[in-house]
Amino acid sequence: MEDDRPERTNRVETTRARRALLVETAITCFVDQGIARTGMRDIAKKAGVSVGNLYNHFPGRDDLIAEIAKIDAAGLSEVVAQIAECTDPQEAIDRFVKTYFAYCADPVSAVLTVEITSEALRNPAIEDLFSGNRAMLVETLAAAIAAQGQTKTPADVSAGLVLDTIEGFALRVGLTGKKPRKGETEALMSFVRHALTAEED
């Protein structure tokens, strides 16, 4: 039969799958033990693969870390793009806070953030991956704040402070692993909403 394709597995497909498996395994290891305490052997063993093969897929340890940082940055980038499309300023801000918080508060994301931040301190290439995202976050949020236009502080400064609040809170939630207390997320939104309100004096 023509349809009887070789049962032997497609090579490009299996190698892509294996590479993905290795990345996922590495993330798990980094989250569980920390980047610093994770060796190439740990990843290979957990993935059920030889060390040599691991090096067939990634030139070295730093490249593997950079790859994961890139994936993390790409995930964040998606969130930013998704948030951007909203017309009403107030609703845009609300959605921003809710969505960005949910993203950052995920335990895996939170732990990775700490680990990668530590890594970025000594690796400019990794830092660059995220500084772009940060700028985009500020830009997106500042636009909504400016459209609402109620405070006298520059919109990008306010946006930065809102991001700090969200990230700080999300990190606290994500690192401890316990869910936020009932109403705590609403408190965050109320907090931000008030913070962006103009004073009367």
Partner DNA sequence: ATCGATTCGATGAACGTTCGTTCACTTAAT
Partner DNA sequence: ATTAAGTGAACGAACGTTCATCGAATCGAT
Sequence-distant contacts of 58-65: CB under 8 A, at least 24 apart: 58/22, 62/123, 64/22, 64/23, 64/26, 65/30, 65/35, 65/119, 65/126
Helix-helix angle 107-120:124-148, to 10 degrees: 120
Residue 153 binding target from DNA, its own copies, none, CB below 5 to 8 Å by type:
its own copies
Residue 57 binding target from DNA, its own copies, none, CB below 5 to 8 Å by type:
DNA
Residue 196 DSSP one-character state: T
Tell me the helices (H) and strands (E) count for the chain, helix number first.
9, 0
Residue 28 binding target from DNA, its own copies, none, CB below 5 to 8 Å by type:
none
Residue 10 binding target from its own copies, DNA, none, CB below 5 to 8 Å by type:
DNA
Q: By CB under 8 A, is residue 160 in contact with its own copies? A: yes
Contact with its own copies (CB under 8 A) among 74, 121, 125, 135: 121
Contact with its own copies (CB under 8 A) among 118, 125, 128, 149: 118
Q: Are 109 and 103 in contact (CB under 8 A)?
A: yes
Residue 182 binding target from its own copies, DNA, none, CB below 5 to 8 Å by type:
none
Q: By CB under 7 A, is residue 16 in contact with DNA? A: no
Return the number of the residue (77 or 165) whose C-beta is nearest its own copies. Answer: 165
Interatomic CA distance for residues 198 and 162, integer angstroms: 15
Residue 62 binding target from its own copies, DNA, none, CB below 5 to 8 Å by type:
DNA
φ/ψ of residue 98, rounded to 5: -65, -50
Residues 14 to 33: which contact its own copies by CB under 8 A? Answer: 33
Binding mask 48-87 for DNA (x = CB under 7 A): xxxxxx-xxx--xxx-------------------------
* Minimum distance of DNA from residue 131's CB (angstroms): 25
Q: Are 137 and 167 in contact (CB under 8 A)?
A: no
Q: By CB under 8 A, is residue 38 in contact with its own copies? A: no
Interatomic CA distance for residues 42 and 194, integer angstroms: 48
Residue 121 DSSP one-character state: T
Name the site residues for DNA (rule: CB under 7 A): 6, 8-12, 14-15, 18, 38-42, 48-53, 55-57, 60-62
